[in-house]
Structures are given as C-alpha cells and as structure tokens.
Amino acid sequence: MNYWLFKSEAEVWSWDQQVAKGDEGEEWDGVRNYQARNNMRQMKIGDRGFFYHSRAEKEVVGIVEIIAEAHPDSTIDDTRWECVDIKAIRPFQTPVSLAMCKQDERLKEMVLVNNTRLSVQPVSEAEWKIVCDLGNTDPS
DNA sequence: GCCAACGTTGGC
DNA sequence: GCCAACGTTGGC
C-alpha cells in the first residue's frame, strides 16, 4: 500500500465536507498541476492519504482512502486533467500542524516540509506512522 | 495582506 | 527551444 497527502484550503473544500460525503466519497477535482496529477495516476484503490488544510490552518486533520483510480476530471473539458475519488476514514485525534512536522527531525525529508506548493504528494510509510503517532491517531 | 517560490504561457 | 512575463499557491 502507498501513502499520500491531499492539500485543500478549508474555505474551498474542507474535511467536514469530505466527511459529509460518507462512503460515497468525492472526486479530488481541480488539480491543474502535472506533478500532482502524476501522483494521482499512481494511486491504487485502498491506498491511504492524509487530508491537509492549507493556508489558514496548516495542519493534517484526517485520513482518507482512495476509492476510485484516476479518471477524467468532470469539472473541466480538457483530457489532460484527471482525478481520483476519496472517502474520509477517520479524523485525527490531535491535528498535526506544519510547525510540528518541521520541528520533528524524522520528518525533515517530508515533501510537505520541502515542497510547499505541491498539492498532491507522496508520503513514505515511516512518515505516515510518525505523523499518525504525533496526532494520537490509528495509522491503519 | 505580503511576498517568495514555483509552474505555465507565449513571444522570439 | 529559450526565457521573460505572468499567475497562483501557500507560508509567514
């Protein structure tokens, strides 16, 4: 299984909205960046991801699961752009802030810390466990 | 609200 | 194919 991280501004698409979608989940649409899209193309059903609120909160707030692999983005008439579908699995007991990640020596290689502009990123298994641990949250 | 970093566009 | 100009993201 692979691990990922999805960024969203809470004003645009929040964790609460994702949770409200339940098991049906929702398209992760609107990505207009090739690196982010390429990451989504590598996702498999059952992969897990962090849900991160950028800009205002800057913290990991929940865990999601990939429920549909890359398909054309329904919000644009341009075949270049694809997206996956995700559903909420569980919220973080304690949100893990960007500042916490930056302070943790073990996370200094994390894409979140080093490439702030990438909106869909890979997370290593070790990083996954560390962040879940920091958030007192079940990593499974 | 500002601005640095980055990605994309388009003229040449 | 290069690179300047521009637009957007996201941390601070």
Contact A88, A64 (CB under 8 A): yes
DSSP A119: S
Global confidence as pTM: 0.95
When pLDDT is cut at 50, 70 and 90, the band that residue A75 belongs to is confident
Higher pLDDT, residue A80 or A45: A45
Query: Which amino acid residue lies closest to nucleotide C8, measuring CA to C1'?
Result: A117
pLDDT value at position A6? 97
Name the 3-class secondary structure at A30: coil
Beta-strand (E) ranges in chain A?
A: 3-9, 26-27, 48-54, 59-72, 82-97, 120-123
When pLDDT is cut at 50, 70 and 90, the band that residue A76 belongs to is confident
A3-134: CATH number = 3.10.590.10
pLDDT(A78) > 90: no
Which residues in window 12-51 of A are less than 7 A from strand B by Cβ?
32-35
Q: How many CA atoms lie within 13 A of A49 on its CB side?
A: 32
pLDDT value at position A71? 94
Contact A60, A92 (CB under 8 A): yes
DSSP for A65-76 reads EEEEEEEE-TTS
pLDDT digits (tens, 9 = 90+) for A4-30: 999 999 999 999 999 999 999 999 999
CA gap A29, A56 in Å, rounded: 21
Contact A68, A6 (CB under 8 A): no
Å from A71 (CA) to B9 (C1')?
26
pLDDT digits (tens, 9 = 90+) for A95-135: 999 999 999 999 999 999 999 999 999 999 999 999 999 99
Residue found under tokens 């049906």: A24
Å from A131 (CA) to C6 (C1')?
37
DSSP A45: T
pLDDT(A77) > 90: no
- Quote the percentage of chain A above a pLDDT of 70: 100
Token output for A106 = 């073990």
